[in-house]
Amino acid sequence: MKLMEEENVIKDMEVFPFSDIVYNAPEYEEIWKPKIEKAGGLFHKLEYKTVKEKKRKCATIHLRPQNFDEQIERIQEDGLVWLPLRRTETYSGFSHRHYNKDRIDMNTSVYGVLSHDIEYAREFKNASERPVNHEILAELLGFPECCASKFTDSFAKFRDPLFQAAEESGEKVDDTTIKTKINIGTHQLLRYAGFRIASHLPCSFDCENSQEVSKNIWIPTAKEFYPEEYKILKEILMMEGSWSVNHGVVVVTLPPFTVVSNSIPTKEEYEVIWEEVID
Amino acid sequence: MALSLKVSGVKCNANCEYCYQKKLRNKGKVRELDVDSVIDQVEREKDTFNSPPFLHGGEPLTIPKYKLDRILKYLYNEFDRTSIQTHGYLINDEHIEMFKKYNTSVGVSLDGKGEMNSLRGVAGKPGSEVTEQVMYNVKKLKDNDINVSILAVLHKKNALPEQREDLKDWILELDEIGINSGRLNLAVSQGQAEHVVLTEEEAVDIWGDLFDFTIKENSGMNWKPFRDIIDNLLGTKQGTCVFNDCMYYHADTESVILPDGTRANCLKTSMEHGHVYPRMEEMTGVSNDEKKYGGVRYKILNQIPYENGGCKGCKYWNNCLGGCPAAAIEGDWRNRNKYCKAYYKLFEKGEELLRGVFPRVTLSCDEEANLRSIKASSMEVNSLERLNKNKKKCGSTYKDSSREKKQCEIKKSPRGGKNEHIDGNIRHLDSDA
């Protein structure tokens, strides 16, 4: 039996997207603010770059009205293609799902698929139509099969299934707490602030397939093209910390700062503790 | 909003068992007092606060007297009055002279006489001697015409039924020497003092009893939170910070200046992790509508069922807003306050009292109160509007039928202007100077 079941989640409750970073002491702001700004943007650069370098078939990116012309130009110049999938409401912070919109305005972005091959992009677009074929999407995005399968199974029940990944890799401390080791390539517990290497949610924090994907695709791309940002990101990801969710709000605590965002509306607090991150 | 000057940092001569600064004292960075930096920072911020900054600690009287004099002098010159919150044991004649000179209101932290105050110890001193000395100092302050209020914390040494009469006698004794105001707070522990804090049922009992004692049975007393409850229900003030929408990571209802001049937020939020959250420039003007810095609490708590630690369906949601997030269940600000039932009891008693006197009163917990925001203090309807003698059929304190009520014209309060700030002078829970 799993520690977190569907009955432990409050029904019909959703916390709108937001994401926040708070420093744990006044003096940490000066040290960490510039680092956070640098490392927080790396993941989005890697999403794009791994496709441009043909290390993955597809990625998903949003085009925003504020700079769509520049984004289109860049995609064309890089020899890539992009197909629209849906119009979504713009939000600040981190979101677990899309908020569909019919009309386009300045608060609408267009979510779409990026590829180096129009056929892959078309395949992705077709697989995105309902009923969504998650297996095809995962393959095109370069996600391990085991993780895609687990995600498909757990996402409907738990919108932010990180506790579920910890249950697979860690040890139970009490009925609501798991202690686990994490691999840097599977580390998704800080993704609300943009701190992660790979894009997919692992089935387990010790998932070997996920580690392989990170080692072969994401980490080499980061090291080659963005070494400085990667160094800072790694410094952040290697820290010990705790991830705690309660009532739809997740609080991730690292020694110098705390990340707060929206998550699963559990009836009580559930916590993941990690004291070690394996490089 | 008040500005708290932690002039001694967390340094303290006392060793109060339930002190919320314990974790910070054990692991926090030691900050030395730099008077110039503190004054410079007050100078930068003084216009943003609606009451004079107050001195706090740790124990503010542990700092050298010449530094204390400099800070008080500056504050007196700026605000014509000053205030300080102290354990009271270190007060001597020189301090009293300073307090007279600088028009200082003194809040003394004292939990009662004799054994009732035994949790507020001073290392190496018998508890009885400490308490006697503090009471002696309190009387001496009053003899010197210094304004004194008491901040008492209620716990298992002074608030159980068997101690009740002694506690009430002490309150009456204070009244006799001219001290009729202060706070009777519940001790809160996030692990540091579980053995002395009251159970929720004990808290309901003591607060319910003291509400009657200070509001109904004795006139002229101004003890909080009981007075806050009345103000809150009438929509005149939200009251003490605990009834406000306080953002856990931006708890600026007690904004702090640390001894080295650094800006920070309420140190009660350090109780859980020992963190001192900064007050960053970008936080200025942020409201809980943006969900930032813990403001999301006020978007979620009223959706969470009571049995899961929330406030869903609570009649007094706008009055209480889940209580102080630093005193939440399990120390988790995403839950409601751990003494919910005690607060509820007070609101119930306050409502009963007000409706008993004014059956036609409109309270901030009423649906027709027309709150402009989630706060009780943003009530648009004047509570006593129906008592206006110039209004047809409305000039009575007792005509309380729903039939009559519907005929009354409810006029919008003139204070309902959009930009008007009506929160009043919110004071913080751990100061009553």
Both B26 and B91 in a single domain? yes
pLDDT band at B393 (very low <50, low <70, confident <90, very high): low
- Contact list in B for residue A246 (CB cut-off 8 A) is 309, 332, 334-335
Which amino acid is residue B163, in one-letter code? Q
Q: Return the H-helix or E-strand segment holding B118.
A: none
pLDDT band at B397 (very low <50, low <70, confident <90, very high): low
Tokens representing A90?
């713009």
Contacts of B216 (CB under 8 A, 6+ apart): B353
Tell me whether residue B347 is in a domain. no
Both B148 and B23 in a single domain? yes
Determine, for residues A260 and B296 on separate chains, whether the beta-carbon distance falls below 8 Å: yes
Determine, for residues B292 and A16 on separate chains, whether the beta-carbon distance falls below 8 Å: no
Tokens representing B376?
């009780």
Tell me whether residue B138 is in a domain. yes
Measured CA to CA in angstroms, residue A92 lies from A195, B291, B292, B380 at distances of 16, 11, 11, 33
Chain-wide mean pLDDT for chain B?
88
Nearest partner of B244 among B309, B294, B197, B305, judged by Cα: B294
Length of chain B: 433
B283 in A contact zone (CB under 8 Å): no
A269 in B contact zone (CB under 8 Å): yes
User: Number of residue pairs across A and B with CB atoms under 8 Å?
Assistant: 81
Q: How many CB atoms lie within 10 A of CB B218?
A: 15
Both B337 and B261 in a single domain? no
Q: Is the dihedral of CA B269, B275, B279, B285 positive or negative?
A: negative
A9 in B contact zone (CB under 8 Å): no
A149 in B contact zone (CB under 8 Å): no
Tell me whether residue B363 is in a domain. no
Out of B262, B292, B308, whose CB is closest to A10? B308
A8 in B contact zone (CB under 8 Å): no
A11 in B contact zone (CB under 8 Å): no
Mean of pLDDT values over B374-381: 84
A91 in B contact zone (CB under 8 Å): no
Nearest partner of B151 among B189, B190, B220, B105, judged by Cα: B105
Tell me the domain boundaries of chain A. 1-53+144-279, 57-141
Tell me whether residue B125 is in a domain. yes
pLDDT band at B317 (very low <50, low <70, confident <90, very high): very high
Tokens representing B163?
């101690």
Both B46 and B171 in a single domain? yes
B310 to chain A: nearest residue by CA?
Answer: A247
CATH number of the CATH domain containing B136: 3.20.20.70
**Average pLDDT by consecutive 10-residue portion of chain A (279 residues)?**
92 89 93 94 96 97 93 97 93 78 88 97 95 93 93 84 95 97 96 94 96 97 98 98 97 97 96 96
Q: Which of B297, B317, B341 is the last residue of a domain?
A: B341
- Tokens 């309270």 belong to B363
Both B264 and B319 in a single domain? no
Determine, for residues B304 and A24 on separate chains, whether the beta-carbon distance falls below 8 Å: no
Antiparallel, parallel or unpaired: β A108-115 and A58-63: antiparallel
Antiparallel, parallel or unpaired: β A177-179 and A270-274: parallel
> Cα angle at B334 between B274 and A277, to 5 degrees?
60
ipTM: 0.93
Q: Where are the alpha helices (DSSP H) in B222-369?
A: 226-234, 297-300, 317-320, 340-357
d(CA A56, CA A50): 6
Residue B323 has pLDDT above 70, yes or no: yes
Choose between B211 and B359: higher pLDDT. B211
Exposed e or buried b for every residue in B324-345, given b needs 16+ CB within 10 A? bbbbbbebbbbbbbbbbebbbb
Choose between A83 and B428: higher pLDDT. A83
Give the per-residue pLDDT at B413: 35
Residue B293, min C-alpha distance to chain A (Å):
7
CB B242 within 8 A of CB B251: no
Give the per-residue pLDDT at B399: 58
pLDDT band at B286 (very low <50, low <70, confident <90, very high): low
- Tokens 């909003």 belong to B1
Distance in angstroms between the alpha carbons of the first and the last residue of chain B: 14
Domain residues for the domain of B144 are 2-152+159-184+257-270
Give the per-residue pLDDT at A159: 86
Mean of pLDDT values over B262-270: 92
Choose between B289 and B135: higher pLDDT. B135
| Three-state DSSP string of chain A | CCCCCHHHECCCCCCCCCEEEEECCHHHHHHHHHHHHHHHCHHHHHHHHHHHCCCCCEEEEEECCCCHHHHHHHHHHCCCEEEEEEEEECCCCCCCCCCECCCCCCCEEEEEEEECCHHHHHHHHHHHCCCCCHHHHHHHHCCCHHHHHHHHHHHCCCCCCHHHHHHHHCEEEECCEEECCEEHHHCCCCHHHCCCCCCCCCCCCCCHHHHHHHHHHHHHHHHHHCHHHHHHHHHHHCCCEEEEEECCEEEEECCCEEEEEECCCECCCEEEEECCEEC
Total domains in the fold of chain B: 2
Nearest partner of B182 among B121, B138, B127, judged by Cα: B138
> Cα angle at A88 between A83 and A93, to 5 degrees?
115
Q: Count CA atoms closer than 13 A to B61's CA, side-chain side.
A: 22
Mean of pLDDT values over B112-125: 93
- Tokens 């914390």 belong to B153
Both B127 and B179 in a single domain? yes
Determine, for residues B258 and A26 on separate chains, whether the beta-carbon distance falls below 8 Å: yes
pLDDT band at B11 (very low <50, low <70, confident <90, very high): very high
Residue A125, min C-alpha distance to chain B (Å):
34
d(CA B300, CA A13): 9
Tell me whether residue B166 is in a domain. yes
Q: Which of B322, B341, B360 is the last residue of a domain?
A: B341
CB A17 within 8 A of CB A245: no
d(CA B47, CA A53): 56
pLDDT in tens, B159-207: 999 999 999 999 999 999 999 999 999 999 888 889 999 999 999 999 9
- Contact list in A for residue B29 (CB cut-off 8 A) is 25, 27
Binding-face residues of A in 208-247 toward B, CB within 8 A: 244, 246-247
Determine, for residues B249 and A258 on separate chains, whether the beta-carbon distance falls below 8 Å: yes
Give the per-residue pLDDT at B63: 97
Both B180 and B285 in a single domain? no
pLDDT in tens, B33-89: 999 999 999 999 988 887 899 999 899 999 999 999 999 999 999 999 999 999 999
- Contact list in B for residue A29 (CB cut-off 8 A) is 278, 280
Antiparallel, parallel or unpaired: β A257-262 and A249-253: antiparallel
Residue B310, min C-alpha distance to chain A (Å):
9
Tell me whether residue B105 is in a domain. yes
Both B18 and B143 in a single domain? yes
Taking the CA atoms of residue B243, residue B244, residue B245 and residue B251 in that order, the dihedral angle to the nearest 10 degrees is -110
The pTM of this model reads 0.90
